[in-house]
Amino acid sequence: MHKKVIFDKKISLVIGGAGFIGSNLCEELLKTSKVICVDDFSSGNEKNIDHLLSEPDFEFVNHDMSTEIDLESLPELQKFKIKFQGIQDIYNLACPMSINDFNKNKIKVLLANSLVVKNALDLALKYEAKFLHFSSSVVYGDRSKNPGKIEEAEIGKSDFLSSRSSYDEGKRFAETMVMNYRREASVDAKIIRVFRTYGPKMQLFDSQIIPDFINAALENKPITIYGDENFTTSLCYISYLLDAVNKIMDSDFFGPVNIGSDVEINLTHVANKIKELTNSSSEIVYKKELEFLSPLCFPDINLAKKSLGWLPIVTLEKGLQETVHHLQVNKGLKDIRTIQFDNE
């Protein structure tokens, strides 16, 4: 039994903690917890956690979670007294997310959606920890087959032999594993299905919509939309994803639950907002749709509202302003333009 006395703060384990969402989550958890961040930098970025390394309640472990890990034997974790306190919360975000490197990472993606999930769940079983798995909207399949807002009860459909099946079908299998550990091993496991999210610490130069738009605008280069002027998507700011994470971990609700914005946004409108924020002269161009930049389903978030009291309310303008600010600082640009928008 590892549910033991908590000495001062609970211990949270974030697997995939150097990525965009994971590193933001580590920062949030440090407000109340000791945090162990595990990552092998398959697609995470060391810069995302550099500023946390000096924090006494933070420790980074470079490890590929497709192989088992003995947390109690690691010298750097002795200060957390895991042998006596155990681990209270485990967050699994591990999955290579680099779009540009996807083809060379297909096997790692398969392992992330199978062995990594198993090893993470086994830790939750060992320490009787709460477990939150970050799934994806891709479990629902192509938007063309689900044109409206999609509810969690929708089974969805994906091509398990497609060129991106290691991710799409892998995410479906990962959910299967989580739910079976919950039912058969009594792990307190929960699932959120994350829709398109943006904010500080997103990877540059990786065919990600928002950072690529901002980077192009800052350099007055063409802003490329892979689709036509009718391409729409949903965009949820990172702080509201983290709010949902806190709410589900503090509740008895276990999901799966859609977490994302249910507001449909035109990408040309987004590009123009970014041009305003950066005072850019970039032109907007349209090119053939890319495999990983295709239109995704829109979430029905009524279950999150009802079960978690959760609603994303950060406006697009405010979210973009924060993201632009972060990327400008990262690029060493000091001329940050602040724009006041209506209704804010």
- Just list the catalytic residues: 167
* Nearest-angstrom CA–CA distance, 31 and 34: 9
Q: What are phi and psi of 315, to 5 degrees?
A: -70, 155
Two tokens, residue 201: 């610490």
CA-CA distance, 146 to 311, in Å (whole number)? 23
Beta-strand (E) ranges in the chain? 11-15, 34-39, 58-62, 89-92, 130-136, 149-150, 189-194, 197-198, 223-226, 232-233, 236-237, 257-259, 265-266, 284-287, 298-299
Q: Write down the number of H helices and E strands in the chain.
A: 10, 15
What are the phi and psi torsion angles at 122 (to 5°)?
-65, -35
Count CA atoms closer than 13 A to 195's CA, side-chain side: 31
- Between CA 91 and CA 80 the distance in angstroms is 18
Burial class of residue 205 in the structure, from the number of CB atoms within 10 Å of its CB (0-12 exposed, 13-18 middle, 19+ buried): exposed
Residue among 50, 52, 41 at smallest CA distance from 19: 41
